[in-house]
Structure 1
Amino acid sequence: MKTFSINRLTKVAMMAALCVVLRQTFSVFPNVQPITAIFLVLVPVWGLIDAILVMALTMLVSSFLLGLGPWVALQIVSFAIMMLLWRVYLTLVTRGGKSDIIILFVETIGAGLVGIGYGIVIDSLSAFMFNMPWWSYVAAGFFFNLAHALSTLIFFPLITSFFRRLSHEKTIV
């Protein structure tokens, strides 16, 4: 179990602050967010707990800028579910002797599917919360979920390569 050191808390807070800025910056494009890819990349790099902390802080703080309501709790729960499933997916994907490029390709496809999965989970929770038919939320959110999946598909390899380069430079020094 990791302890909560000042360095760890600072790292989580700084990444959450970056994600808040990115979420605010990209808010003009419905469901086009690089932060989902960042959350997914953080799971293997920093661990599931720290990645969830970054995500929860990001969603909570950015909701003060973008609108606070019961959906914020649904966002946090939905992302946490998807990040947990992502961790399981990564365990399955990285087994065996596959090359780095194949693993990145399979992870990127999975990241895009996380965008769809997140949409279905939050639509399902919203339908339950507001006592609406499930299909109506999923159907109404289809294009938003598709935009989320496609943007995650595009951002994931870029952010992954950045984090790999950053960790590689750290080990060289």
Structure 2
Amino acid sequence: MITTRLTRLAILTALACVLRIAFGAFPNVKPITALFFVLILAYGLADAIIVSTLTMIVTGFLMGFSVIILGQIISYVLILSLGAMIFRWLKSIILRTLLIFILTMLYGFLISIFSAQLFGSPFWPFWISGLTFDLAHAVSTALFFPILMTIFKNILKTRC
């Protein structure tokens, strides 16, 4: 069982890394946040956090490593944990997608806190100037989520 789980985590991390790099030309339009939320439903919160953390670290080595990766990891842990708690009460894919949109906007808010500190910028102007990127991230995540849910449902034939 442990070998199966480790293999699954490695494959999903590799998939997330490839998706992040493949969509690198499109600022904040990446399917990985949607993938992390799907992983909560397919395998549980712990696996989603492990994959998101490893994805940030591995792609950090490839795309440029800095302190901001710690902010990304913390922000993902927070939004994924909130999502996992609320998913228990939401069964509709429409409501889940709306929740994911909101949580992805929250991710943008949280990562702006870390980024503003890193760059020595006042928070509110920094956050407001990045709202279009946060919106692109949230919209793309909301669009990718139902697609990935369908793929995982077909592959797993489980509880997604």
TM-score normalized by the length of structure 1: 0.87
Residues 102, 138 of structure 2: 8 Å contact kept: yes
Quote the Cα distance in structure 2 between the aligned partners of 1:90 and 1:131: 36
Question: Per-residue deviation at 1:130?
Answer: 4.3
Quote the Cα distance in structure 1 between the aligned partners of 2:117 and 2:21: 28
Aligned length: 159
Structure 2's unaligned 5+ residue stretches are none
1:1-173 → structure 2 map (5 Å cutoff): 5-94=2-91, 103-168=92-157
Q: Which of structure 1's runs of 4+ aligned residues deviate more than 6 A? A: none
Between 1 and 2, higher relative CO (CA 8 Å, sep ≥ 6) is seen in: 2
What is the one-letter code of the residue matched to 1:22?
L
Quote the Cα distance in structure 2 between the aligned partners of 1:88 and 1:128: 29
Question: Per-residue deviation at 1:13?
Answer: 0.7
Quote the Cα distance in structure 2 between the aligned partners of 1:68 and 1:142: 23
TM-score normalized by the length of structure 2: 0.93
Question: Per-residue deviation at 1:9?
Answer: 0.8
Question: Per-residue deviation at 1:92?
Answer: 2.4
Equivalent position SS for 1:160: helix
Most deviating of 109-118 and 127-136? 127-136
Structure 1's unaligned 5+ residue stretches are 95-102
Q: In terms of Rg, which structure is larger? A: 1
